[in-house]
Structure 1
Amino acid sequence: MTRIFKKYIALFSIPFFLFASCEKELSTSPTSSVSEDKLFSTVENIETVLNGTWSYMNDTYFTYANPGYGAILRTSDAMGSDAVINPSKYGFPAAYSFTQMQINNDTRVSAFWTLLYKVIDNCNNIITKIDASVGSQEKKDQIKGQALALRANSYLTLATFYQFTYLKDPEAKAVPIYTEPAKPTSEGNPKASLKEVYNRILTDLKESQTLLSKYSRASSAKYKINTDVVNGLLARAYLNTGNWTEAALHAAEARKAYPLMSASEYTAGFNSLSNSEWIWGHGQTTDQSNASYNFHFLDVSSASSYYYSFMADPYFKDLFDANDIRTQLFLWDGLKGREGSLRYQKFKFRQNQTADIVLMRSSEMVLIEAEAKARGGLLTEAAQRLNELRTIRKASLLDVAGKGAADVIDAILIERRKELWGEGFALSDILRTQGKVTRKAFNTGGANPAPVYVTITTPEGTTGQVPGIGHTVLVFPDKTPFVANSPYYLFTIPQLEVINNPNLNN
């Protein structure tokens, strides 16, 4: 087991419940191996571990369909209402059809669990060992604060997808909590309740906020966690747990330094950390570009995109006003083999085939603030926040006159679907709000439905009429209709975890 601690940077530590499955993979140490004592002896070394953990989280390939943390976000959208996944393309058809994330020996199921708990264990090592290292207190505070927030993000992701919403049952058992580094003698922990998991998340984030209070990052280093990112994570956690006042407060704080993007920025491809409203993201270069592979699924307009599998539901387009700048992104596909699919050309590779990955931005924070205020009964303030976003998107404004809380909340949730499409919030919002997937066939309806024909333009410039392509999966695998709080929405725990951790369900 000791060789595990000699793995390079991000792979130096593996949670005990993964030992059995990873032993073969870990049998060879790289030539850059260092001892555990040396690895954690200085703040400079520990920051290298933290940077490696971040890279592992975002850039690790389990398969080409699972390029790091971004694959979790893609899966969330594939299991939602507004993305139509091409069933013949590699990557996400099984998630789209709800036939994957309930299979406990599936590669993706194992990959997500492994990814999140490896990040947690690396952060546990950093958090517990940084105080004894050589270096300035300022640097120790920065590294520890960032590790606490990164651990909190992993637990927040686990709480989101592995159990129903906190507001349904805070005592529901979710996932194990670990705060100490895994050792060969470690025993598995039982599932903790959602209440316990969120207490851990909030405790970590509050401590992180204090430790990072004096830290300032470069504008080009948006992968570095600062208090803005921490406030954004707090806003998400408080929204999930129904603390509307705190959710609105932290969302407002998170976005202060990040003005909403212009129309030209919105249509530029969602591929750059330099975007004015990005708060947190993962940068990519030509020699470090693994996470860019996410764009082979998201980018439906670049000729170099391999899979172009995330198309839009035609009914999604109907949610937008005619003058909304976001409607410029829709285009009926005229390429051979894709005729009639509806592109939503939000994501585009840069010319060098790289693309930065967005993890948090101001628009989300505006919408958290709006929703929290609406759920707290402050409908006028909620509409003001919503209209702040709609104004810059040139969409019609919401008039709250004569509207109740349910109307305003519904408008905000629809705006989340419109604004955050493809960024990983589809399934998480369905779970959080106890909603349901909404999909219907794109046809004329009635007793004898017929195709809806749409106009396409071919690469040669000719136009024609073809049947528009909408959703192909309209029910759960057992042929029952989509409903709220369905177990089909949840990610299952991998088989190896169940086998290797006898305490899991205690």
Structure 2
Amino acid sequence: MLTIERIMKKLYALLLGGGLLVSSSCSDFIDLTPTHSLSSTTVFGKLDDFEPVLNGTYASMRDLYAYGLFQSVMPDMMADNTLETTESLVNYKAVTDWTYAADQLRVAEVWRFSYLMINDANLILQNITQFESTNPQRANRFKGQALAIRGLMHFNLLRYYAPNFDRNSTAPGIPIKTTPVIELPGRATVKEVYDQIYKDLEAALPLLNDVDAAINTNTRRSRIDAATVNAILARVALYAKEYDRAITFATAAITARPLASRASFPGIWTDANADEVLFSIQFNPGEGGPALDVWSPATNRAQFDPSAELLSLYDAAKDVRYTSYFTPGASVPGSVNRATRVVSTKYQGKGTARDGAVNFKAFRTGEMYLIRAEARALSNRATEALADLNTLRAARIADFTPRTETGQALLDAIATERRKELWLEGHRWFDLKRTTRVVQRVSCRAGVVCNLPASSPKWAWPIPQNERLANPNIAQNEGY
């Protein structure tokens, strides 16, 4: 397994071809001494050289251990939104039944792959300074994206490996990596990790507002721009319970990308449009897809079904999300064996394709309304919170009559709407972790672990064993 230290030793040998494109199909790399070495000045001799490295980092986000599974649909698979079926290949049972351990592949690869992308960002940031005076706006475009990627990846790591999300927590978080040099850092506190995440994202924002060319278009949202950074900051602030900041950043993202209409909403999921998409991970044919381990369109294997409890929350006749996310099994070709079940077809493919190679929407305006609603409700701004919630519900549900929830009922309604709106978008496990810290799987099938109590140490993943063997400065989480 590659540790943080060994990543650095392999770095320049892997840079050619555009970023750290690494295989995740096996648990280890063969350490070969390269027949040549590359210096930073050789790799980054001109501004044009930053583009392929940045492109390679975005391509890496498609990996199974990034947004190809673990940062996309795995948080639903780990929680109460899905139930494992008899068709499961049980490839992820240790994760979805919370029996993970420090020496397991899945735990180690999520860690490793996130730090690989952080190192890509660090290489760009270390070498971009020499070009900032000659073409500042173009340099801003590369530097701003690299800072945002570094902040986002540290946040993604924090979500899995930290025991809590309290803004000023002195509990161990994760190692902070801000330079591509060989070092063996200990775990920073959760507070220190938040400090670094905010620092990176807030530094990226003015840079991405002063660039030489548009980073995205209205129909292509596969790069991080200023609107994306506001969305990332809104999510971070919600986790940190800094509600005023969450409101500010969510509002900026909403202004940049308004909610999709009910008519255009289904097209988001076939990539017919990018309405309300703030940032998506691009999957092309042959590059996998974000939800193939939930339901594979090509083979029609449903390894995880949406839970009956989740399905009962939707108005199947009026809620556009129900028909956009789910299909009755009898309507899916070749589904005789699951005709009475509901299939998760949210990520079926682009257009009419049935290959699962559809873009993963990492940040959407629907989430921003829910962030702002929750932050307002917890800031004694209930009227505004309810308005946000009703705006979202009216955009999704035909003939919706505004509701009048207050107090705890309002908070419960926001939580329910998050569950419905953000199905298979990387949130449910972490929403439970940051609030109730309880998983209760209803109608749980035989062979599936059904409940995870708040007291369980499994809410924080273990630090990978190989990392600890290579780095004596890094402490393990409690319970492992």
Shift of 1:197: 0.2
- Percent identity, aligned pairs only, is 27
Question: Which moves more between the two structures, 167-176 or 43-52?
Answer: 167-176
User: For 1:440 and 1:168, how far apart are their aligned partners in 2?
Assistant: 32
Aligned to 2:124: 126
SS of 1:54's partner is: helix
Q: Partner letter of residue 343 of structure 1? A: V
Question: Which moves more between the two structures, 319-328 or 429-438?
Answer: 319-328
Q: TM-score, normalised by structure 2?
A: 0.85
Aligned to 1:5: 12
Aligned to 1:379: 382
SS of 1:222's partner is: coil
Aligned to 2:76: 77
Q: Once the two structures are superposed, what CA deviation does each residue of 1:280-332 show, in whole Å capped at 9, x if it has no partner? A: 0022333xx42x332423446x4x24533232111212212353233335444
Shift of 1:85: 2.5
Q: 1:87 to 1:129 in 2, by over 3 A?
A: farther
Structure 1 residue corresponding to 2:308, chosen from 300, 308, 314: 314
Aligned to 1:162: 161
SS of 1:84's partner is: strand
Q: Partner letter of residue 71 of structure 1? A: F
Shift of 1:140: 1.0
User: For 2:319 and 2:339, how far apart are their aligned partners in 1?
Assistant: 25
Structure 2 residue corresponding to 1:207, chosen from 186, 203, 207: 203
Q: 1:120 to 1:264 in 2, by over 3 A?
A: same
Q: 1:121 to 1:385 in 2, by over 3 A?
A: same
- Does structure 2 conserve the Cα–Cα contact (< 8 Å) formed by 1:69 and 1:115? no
Q: Partner letter of residue 381 of structure 1? A: E
- State how 1:212-231 maps to structure 2 within 5 Å: 212-215=208-211, 216-219=214-217, 220-231=219-230
Aligned to 1:435: 437
Q: 2:350 aligned with 1:356, yes or no? A: no
Aligned to 2:321: 326
- Does structure 2 conserve the Cα–Cα contact (< 8 Å) formed by 1:298 and 1:422? no
Q: Partner letter of residue 333 of structure 1? A: G
- Does structure 2 conserve the Cα–Cα contact (< 8 Å) formed by 1:317 and 1:330? no
Q: 2:54 aligned with 1:50, yes or no? A: yes
Shift of 1:73: 2.3
Aligned to 2:468: 498
- Does structure 2 conserve the Cα–Cα contact (< 8 Å) formed by 1:238 and 1:247? yes
- Does structure 2 conserve the Cα–Cα contact (< 8 Å) formed by 1:5 and 1:12? no
User: For 1:168 and 1:148, how far apart are their aligned partners in 2?
Assistant: 21
- State how 1:118-267 maps to structure 2 within 5 Å: 118-133=116-131, 135-167=134-166, 170-182=169-181, 186-215=182-211, 216-219=214-217, 220-267=219-266
User: For 2:300 and 2:31, how far apart are their aligned partners in 1?
Assistant: 28
Q: Partner letter of residue 360 of structure 1? A: F
Q: 1:330 to 1:48 in 2, by over 3 A?
A: closer
User: For 1:473 and 1:484, how far apart are their aligned partners in 2?
Assistant: 22
Q: 1:217 to 1:416 in 2, by over 3 A?
A: same
Q: 1:115 to 1:53 in 2, by over 3 A?
A: same
Q: 1:261 to 1:12 in 2, by over 3 A?
A: closer
User: For 2:122 and 2:253, how far apart are their aligned partners in 1?
Assistant: 25
Aligned residues: 450
Structure 2 residue corresponding to 1:400, chosen from 401, 404, 418: 404
Aligned to 2:96: 96
Q: 1:434 to 1:164 in 2, by over 3 A?
A: farther
Aligned to 2:3: none
User: For 2:193 and 2:367, how far apart are their aligned partners in 1?
Assistant: 23
Q: Partner letter of residue 230 of structure 2? A: N
Q: 1:312 to 1:3 in 2, by over 3 A?
A: closer
Question: Which moves more between the two structures, 2-11 or 236-245?
Answer: 2-11
Q: Partner letter of residue 247 of structure 1? A: A
Shift of 1:6: 2.7
Q: Partner letter of residue 37 of structure 1? A: T
Shift of 1:164: 2.9
Aligned to 2:373: 370
Q: Once the two structures are superposed, what CA deviation does each residue of 1:195-224 show, in whole Å capped at 9, x if it has no partner? A: 000000000011000111123323144122
Q: TM-score, normalised by structure 1?
A: 0.81
Shift of 1:3: 6.0
Shift of 1:238: 0.6
Q: 1:136 to 1:366 in 2, by over 3 A?
A: same
User: For 2:10 and 2:264, how far apart are their aligned partners in 1?
Assistant: 47
User: For 1:87 and 1:10, how far apart are their aligned partners in 2?
Assistant: 41
Shift of 1:338: 2.7
Shift of 1:490: 2.3
- State how 1:404-415 maps to structure 2 within 5 Å: 404=407, 406-415=408-417
- Does structure 2 conserve the Cα–Cα contact (< 8 Å) formed by 1:79 and 1:95? yes
User: For 1:440 and 1:155, how far apart are their aligned partners in 2?
Assistant: 33
- Does structure 1 conserve the Cα–Cα contact (< 8 Å) formed by 2:230 and 2:250? yes
Q: 1:330 to 1:9 in 2, by over 3 A?
A: closer
Shift of 1:167: 2.7
Q: Once the two structures are superposed, what CA deviation does each residue of 1:411-453 show, in whole Å capped at 9, x if it has no partner? A: 1011000000011101111111133112122xxxxxxxxxxxx
Can you give the 5+ residue segments of structure 1 that lack an aligned partner in the other structure?
15-20, 442-469
Question: Which moves more between the two structures, 202-211 or 155-164?
Answer: 155-164
User: For 2:465 and 2:184, how far apart are their aligned partners in 1?
Assistant: 14
SS of 1:176's partner is: coil
User: For 2:50 and 2:247, how far apart are their aligned partners in 1?
Assistant: 34
Question: Rg larger in 1 or in 2?
Answer: 1
